[in-house]
Amino acid sequence: DAGVIQSPRHEVTEMGQEVTLRCKPISGHNSLFWYRQTMMRGLELLIYFNNNVPIDDSGMPEDRFSAKMPNASFSTLKIQPSEPRDSAVYFCASSLTGALEQYFGPGTRLTVT
């Protein structure tokens, strides 16, 4: 199994640009989670999906952030427009609902200058 796949692994962009992060969950998993990790705030849950449906997006910091899951094998997290304070590592994780164990992808390190 390839595990959770994220792309890109690194992204450097200028303030004001649109950023799109991508995630492919483990095949067969039906829950998907987006996290942001910074030194100051630790691991924060941004949003999660069950069966492609957003369940809780209360962690999304503001309207500049949006996430979609058009099918069971793909999700995106978009930031538009990006700001320097969005610089962080963004992780995607997936799980089999009911099994509870979450498996993390390698993360995308985002730097906004």
Partner 1 sequence: GENVEQHPSTLSVQEGDSAVIKCTYSDSASNYFPWYKQELGKRPQLIIDIRSNVGEKKDQRIAVTLNKTAKHFSLHITETQPEDSAVYFCAASGTNTGNQFYFGTGTSLTVIP
Give the Cα-Cα-Cα angle 72, 33, 73 (nearest 5 degrees).
15
CA–CA gap between residue 56 and residue 12 (Å, rounded)? 28
Task: Name residues contacting partner 1, limited to 56-95 (CB under 8 A).
Answer: 56, 91, 95
Among 7, 20, 50, 52, binds partner 1 (CB under 8 A): 50
At 85, give phi and psi (nearest 5°): -70, -5
Q: Is 38 in the site for partner 1 (CB under 8 A)?
A: no
Interface residue list for partner 1 (CB under 8 A): 31, 33, 42-43, 45, 48, 50, 55-56, 91, 95, 97-98, 100-107
